[in-house]
Amino acid sequence: MTRVFSGIQPTGDLHLGNHLGALVNWVGFQDRADCVYCVVDLHAITSPAEHDPATLRERTLETATLLLAVGVDPARSILFVQSHLHEHAECTWLFNCVSGFGELRKMPQFKEKSEGKGETVSVGLFDYPVLQAADILLYHADEVPVGEDQRHHIELARDIGQRFNHRFGEVFTLPRAIHPPAAARVMDLQEPTSKMSKSTSTDKGIVNLLDDPARIERKIKSAVTDSATDIRFDRDAKPGISNLLEVLSAATGRSIEELIAEHDGHGYGAFKAAVAEAVIELLRPIQTRYRELASDVGEVERTLADGAARARAIAAPTLARAKDAVGLLPPA
């Protein structure tokens, strides 16, 4: 069976864009693939912005709980926290020794995130994609569903795996990035020409998965739209209305044409109310499930411990083969 691996950073609240753009697919893959999903807390500490230790711990648990709440099913898939396995950090070291300074320096995400930081930028940020390669290659992943911005990182993982195999013998499976179509590319409610994003959107521009219904309603009703009254899909001329149409379509499973036929001519107010209600109903079962799970932290922690054990059953033998291939003397 195809193995899918993906990771998500516990750096903020998950929002509607993450859900419709990525998590819905994570849930769907479980029907056709052997899935391994990881909360990548080691990646989260590479960020140039200083992190708060207590917040990181909270967010790691919250992110894992939300993944369970949206439908990652621990009976079918492996869900674990990256730092629970020392194998990821250890494999990173082996990969560091077959990675080039030049190729890492050219990674677009590193260039972007280190810009203006001069000599103070951390080695961890520089090494971020090598750790990501270890995440993927330790599990012999075939497919890695990610956003377009991660394409270079997956190519690097492929290059590292290929180089290692070439030098030391076949150990790693070469992965490929997949970019499954998103249920929706969700735009910022206040600035509908930029994507909804946890690092750049304001609170009013973003619907967090745990926002309560009144808050969701308020945010959607005050979404920026144009001053006309017609409801039609045109990303350039009507970015705000088009975004709401796409969200409504993803939330209800109905086509955009059908939604236009139903709502055009009845005004923006009624249309926004319908979008708000659909998003509230989409998130309601997730929020209910989240509260149930969060009321028993011990159970979530047990699920993660079980996930880590099952992850280790795959990662540890892979790492052992890699160490042996490199020529590291096994302990007697």
Question: Phi first, then psi: what are they for 304, rounded to 5°?
Answer: -70, -35
Does residue number 5 form part of the binding site for ligand LTN (CB under 6 A)? yes
Task: Tell me if 6 contacts ligand LTN by CB under 6 A.
Answer: yes
Q: Is 18 in the site for ligand ATP (CB under 6 A)?
A: yes
Tell me which of ligand ATP, ligand LTN, none is bound by residue 195, counting a contact when its beta carbon lies within the kind-specific cut-off of 5 to 8 angstroms: ligand ATP
Please identify, among the stretches 161-169, 192-200, 229-237, 276-284, the one whose residues bind ligand ATP according to the rule CB under 6 A: 192-200
Q: What are phi and psi of 33, to 5 degrees?
A: -140, 165
User: Which residues in the 28-67 window bind ligand LTN by CB under 6 A?
Assistant: 40, 43
Q: Which two tokens stand for residue 247?
A: 């969200």
Residue with tokens 């090494």: 127
Tell me how far, at minimum, the Cβ of 323 lies from ligand LTN, in Å.
21
Active site residue 198: yes
State phi, psi for 175 to the nearest 5 degrees.
-85, 160
SS3 label, residue 296: coil
Q: Which amino acid is at 34?
A: D
Residues 73-132 that bind ligand LTN (CB under 6 A): 132
| CA–CA dist 152, 309 (Å, integer) | 30
**Nearer of residues 9 and 249 to ligand LTN, judged by Cβ:** 9
Binding mask 153-192 for ligand LTN (x = CB under 6 A): x---------------------------------------
CB of 95 to ligand LTN, least distance (A): 13
Binding partner of 196, given ligand LTN, ligand ATP, none, CB within 5-8 angstroms per partner class: ligand ATP
Q: Tokens at residue 77, please?
A: 């898939």
The rounded distance, in Å, linking the Cα atoms of 183 and 247 is 8
* Residue appearing with tokens 């990303």: 235
Of the listed 106, 111, 198, 323, which one is catalytic? 198
Among 150, 208, 242, 249, binds ligand LTN (CB under 6 A): 150
Quote the distance between the C-alpha of residue 58 and its chain's center: 17
Please answer whether residues 314 and 135 qualify as being in contact, where contact means their C-beta atoms are separated by less than 8 angstroms.
no
The CB-of-44 to ligand ATP minimum distance in angstroms stands at 10
Helix pair angle (123-137, 151-168), 10° resolution: 70
Q: Which residues contact 54 (CB under 8 A, 6 or more apart)?
A: none
- The partner in contact with residue 40, picked from ligand LTN, ligand ATP, none with C-beta cut-offs of 5 to 8 angstroms by kind, is ligand LTN
Beta-bridge mates of residue 4: 35, 143
Q: Which residues bind ligand LTN (CB under 6 A)?
A: 5-7, 9, 40, 43, 132, 135-136, 144, 146, 150, 153
User: Would you tell me which residues interact with ligand ATP (CB under 6 A)?
Assistant: 8-9, 17-18, 20-22, 146-147, 182, 185-186, 195-200
Catalytic annotation, residues: 113, 195, 198
